[in-house]
Each structure stands twice: as C-alpha cells, then as structure tokens.
Amino acid sequence: MHGKQHMYESIVNTEYNSFQQPKKDQCSRCESFKNLNENKWEHKEVFDIHQREKELSRNGKELDIHMASENNIQVVCFDLQAMLPVPYGDVCLFYYKRRLLCYNFIVYNTVKKQGLLLLA
C-alpha cells in the first residue's frame, strides 16, 4: 500500500503534536573543548570567540525571520535526518532481509511555522 504525500503531511501535522525535542547535533569544537582535561584555559579564548559567532548567527536568523514576516518573504530551514533502516523490528528475520535506507528530508517554513516531510 502506498500513501500520498499530502496524507503523510496531514497525519504528521494534525495527529502528532507531542513529539519529543530532537537531539541537537553537537559541534565538534564545543565537544572538544568540553572534553579537554588539561590546559583548558589555553583554548578558552578561541572557544569564547566561537561562542560569540554562534550567538551572532542565531541572532541573525531571528532577525531574518522577523524581517521576513513583516515583508511577506519566506525563510525556510532544512535538515536531512539520519538514515533509517527499513524494515525495522525485533524479529531476527528482518536482519537477514535486504535492508533499505530511508532518508527523510525536512523543510520548515519559519514564518508560517509549517513543516514539509519529503520521503526518499
């Protein structure tokens, strides 16, 4: 059985409004600094600059969204989720079947607060 794209979107947008907060990808620079045991102070200045740049980037995104909503412009973000193996299950027979990888490409309109899921 094959569903239509609009059916997936409708179900996700109307019936699943209690998703958990997704895990954020961790920045390698932040993780490296966090895991330093010795001489952390030697890398502190570079880390602080990185943190300021990250904050500026977030502020720029918020400003873009605000300006777009006032000027009838769309701002979209996108993400390619991790590959999901299909079929999925606890039955050992699934392990020996040919595995497919499902890619979910998410596009989110930040002004209209609408998401679009593209299955590939």
| Tokens encoding 112 | 């209209």
pLDDT at residue 89, as a whole number = 62
Asked if the model's pLDDT at residue 19 lies above 80, the reply is no
Amino acid letter, residue 55:
E
Q: Do residues 111 and 75 make contact, with C-beta atoms less than 8 angstroms apart?
A: yes
| Tokens encoding 74 | 């769309």
Instruction: Centre a 10 Å sphere on the Cβ of residue 64 and count the other Cβ atoms it contains.
Output: 14
pLDDT at residue 99, as a whole number = 65
pLDDT digits (tens, 9 = 90+) for 27-52: 888 888 888 888 888 889 999 999 99
Distance CA 77, CA 112 (A): 12
pLDDT digits (tens, 9 = 90+) for 73-85: 888 888 877 676 6
